[in-house]
A and B are shown apart, each in its own frame.
Chain A
């Protein structure tokens, strides 16, 4: 039995908590050390279905909003996903999800971030049962803000994914 049981216990506890921290960090870096099994591949685009075209209805569903620099679909936004999923499961048409950012990032990274937002929404819809082949994604980065102003309120409006229903 150790002469200093309390100190030994302290060291053991510290050691355990440190290793727990490092394990948590390791999960975040799965993409560096290991492989990541990606989301669902996109099907072919529908010919002639342009997000800006007359045959795409853009006002049917509320856009999903995102936190700063994030592409996580928050719990608060889930009801919007469910509403879209219900409608698309019941309809034969296709859907285009368009991702946007606010203007506080650099151009090309924002195109990627907007796309990642659109694809996060697409994956949430797939998880809700919408067939993967019905959903296309496009990113406009910081182009075409919903609110051209500056400040937190405008920026929050611009961090979004919009829905276009192909008629």
Chain B
């Protein structure tokens, strides 16, 4: 009898308890989650608060709100060389508590990424790096920066033509096309040590390097056979393997996230179009897009989309959904590259690099005032 009473009491309260749980967690992918950012304490508190605020805004996943109306609250203490960060939910329970070391900016970016991933389940882009070309010095050189445009640094000083940068997904290596030899060759830079080697220097033109997902191989265009063809080659410049055999121009390879396929542009049908090919080689399969000039494709990290440039008078950035074949134009500009969240892209319009949320269409200029900028690359 007593047991029955206890059980029936529990049965009354249990649904209420469950309902209360459901009410506090209101996260939906694609909608904004309301979040409050309390001013961080510590000697670096003000600076760190600004970085996290900017990161959460740029993610397009949050609505910054006062604490009473927020589903989650962010607080931290930021000192010299470390940040202690905490995220609590509406009920006050801690959902994230972690320490981050490094410079204030980089520690704050890591905290932002954890906030994004803990609260929404999406991958954060705040710690990622970009590379791009700029003609600021009068010559095209390679520059690097944080994803939000901070920390712009000139990487090469070749005084020649240095273009087509590519970043390995982990951001540790950069490949680019340089003309110091008088020909287009591909150079590899270890970004940690600064060491540089000319790794792909076959006769003719070598360009368009793209790192495989594990960083072990590079896809690129090599013309040593008498025609520009798609190749993959070890990231140390050995073991070249030819993929295409056409009379046309193959350019701009981009790897699928599992490394099994490569999307590229080829003009074998007349104007340049998108094709896909097994990364082991074989025949390229045409990808219809409905547009007559499609170049510089980039495969999204989630494998579902390809961003690319079309030309209709001027240039536009388009996104192809691979499953449905639907294509939509998302911006005026060229050379789109995906971020780790498969949602943001960075593209160029000649004088500005822009970060764009392709879901909500929000553009944010991140690099400008550096002359002609272009060919952005993005670590994941």
Residues on A facing B (Cβ under 8 Å)? 28-33, 35-36, 38-45, 49-53, 69, 71, 96, 104-109, 111-116, 119, 122-123, 136-140, 143
Q: Which residues of A contact B295 (CB under 8 A)?
A: 105-106, 108-109
B290 interface residue, CB < 8 Å from A?
A: no
Chain A residues, Cβ within 8 Å of B224: 41-42
Given known A-B contacts A28-B269, A40-B226, A106-B315, A113 and B249 have beta carbons under 8 A apart: yes
Mostly, the B contact residues are loop
B208: chain A residues within 8 A (beta carbon): 108, 111-112
B138: chain A residues within 8 A (beta carbon):
none
C-alpha gap A71/B330 in the complex (Å):
31
Q: A29-B268, A31-B247 are in contact. Are A106 and B334 (CB under 8 A)?
A: yes
Inter-chain contact A45/B247, CB cutoff 8 Å: no
A-facing residues in B179-238 (Cβ within 8 Å): 179, 181-184, 202-205, 207-208, 221, 223-229
Identify which of residues 70-100 in chain B touch chain A, using a CB-to-CB cut-off of 8 Å.
Answer: none
The 9 closest A-B pairs by CB, nearest first: A50-B182, A31-B246, A39-B226, A42-B203, A112-B249, A112-B251, A109-B295, A115-B205, A31-B268
With A31-B244, A107-B163 in contact, do A112 and B250 touch (Cβ < 8 Å)?
yes
Given the interface pairs A111-B184, A112-B221, A136-B204, the reply to whether A106 lies near B311 with Cβ below 8 Å is yes
Which parts of B285-320 form the interface with A (CB within 8 Å)? 285-286, 293, 295-296, 309, 311, 315
Tell me whether A138 and B183 are in contact (CB under 8 A).
yes
**What residues of B have a CB within 8 angstroms of the CB of A136 in the complex?**
183, 203-204
What separation, in Å, do the CA atoms of A30 and B269 have in the docked complex? 10
Min CB distance B164 to A, Å, is: 6
Q: B245 to A108, Cβ gap below 8 A?
A: no
Contact status B225-A41, CB under 8 Å? yes
Q: In the complex the two chains form, is A107's CB within 8 Å of B164's CB?
A: yes
Q: Does B284 have its Cβ within 8 Å of any Cβ on chain A? A: yes
Contact A115–B223 (Cβ < 8 Å): yes
Tell me the nearest residue of chain B to A132, going by C-beta: B226
Residues from chain A with Cβ under 8 Å of B271 in the complex: 69
19 CB contacts below 8 A, A to B, read: A32-B285, A39-B225, A39-B226, A42-B202, A42-B225, A42-B226, A51-B183, A106-B315, A108-B252, A108-B295, A111-B177, A112-B207, A112-B208, A115-B184, A115-B205, A116-B249, A119-B228, A136-B204, A138-B184
> Is there a chain A Cβ closer than 8 Å to B155's Cβ?
no
Q: Does B283 contact A (CB under 8 A)?
A: yes
Kindly list chain B residues whose C-beta atoms are within 8 Å of the C-beta of A123.
226
The residue in chain A whose Cβ has the minimal distance to the Cβ of B246 is A31
A-chain residues with CB within 8 Å of residue B177 when the two chains form the complex:
111
Known: A31-B246, A112-B250. 4 other contacts (CB 8 A): A42-B204, A107-B163, A115-B184, A137-B223
Closest to A117 in B: B249
Cross-chain contact A143 with B204 (CB below 8 angstroms): no
Report the minimum CB–CB distance from B332 to chain A (whole Å). 14
Contact yes or no, A32 B245, CB < 8 A: no
Give chain A residues whose Cβ lies under 8 Å from the Cβ of B178: none
Q: A108 near B226 (CB under 8 angstroms)?
A: no
* CB neighbours of B265 from chain A (8 A): 109
Complex contact B182–A42 (CB within 8 A):
no
Chain B residues lying within 8 Å of A115, measured Cβ to Cβ, are: 184, 204-205, 223, 228, 249
Query: Roughly how many angstroms separate A113 CA and B268 CA in the complex, as a whole number?
Result: 12
B247 touches A111 (CB 8 A): no
Q: Which of A40, A52, A107 contacts B335 (CB 8 A)?
A: A107
The chain B residue sitting closest to A43, CB to CB, is: B203
Check B164–A108 contact: CB distance below 8 A. yes
State how many angstroms separate the Cβ of B337 from the closest Cβ of chain A: 12
In the bound complex, how far is the Cα of B284 from the Cα of A105, in angstroms? Answer: 23
